[in-house]
Amino acid sequence: MKLQRRRLAIKIEFLLSILGILGGTFLFFLNQRKDKKVSGEFTPSSKLAYGKGFTIVEYYGDKKVYSLSIDSFSVERARLGPFTIGPLRMAQFDKVNVDL
């Protein structure tokens, strides 16, 4: 009887510790998700590359082939949850206009 109670107590402690770890991990990832909201201000120092007001116009003879304008763009390391993946990069473009 005493051995069964002890085993039950160990199983309950094990289950509670696993649930605590899972709950903490869930809250951590939930908090990371809130930080991903796009803010109105860019901080160029935190980006690998940053540019503003980029325009390209291509002509073939006298005819305009295409024009491309980008209000702002940035390049940063790709993230997967709390981890930054070194060799992968992510580009973000804002207000892109392509005219063919």
> Does position 43 have pLDDT exceeding 70, yes or no?
no
Structure confidence by residue, pLDDT tens digits, 49-80: 778 888 888 888 888 888 888 888 888 877 77
Looking at every residue in the chain, the average pLDDT score rounds to 77
Task: For residue 67, report the phi and psi dihedrals to the nearest 5 degrees.
Answer: -135, 145
Helix (H) or strand (E) holding 81: none
Residues sharing a CB contact under 8 Å with residue 22, sequence separation 6 or more, in sequence order: none
Residue type, 95: K
Helix (H) or strand (E) holding 83: strand 83-99
The pLDDT, as a whole number, for residue 51 is: 80
The pLDDT, as a whole number, for residue 46 is: 57
pTM for this structure? Answer: 0.41
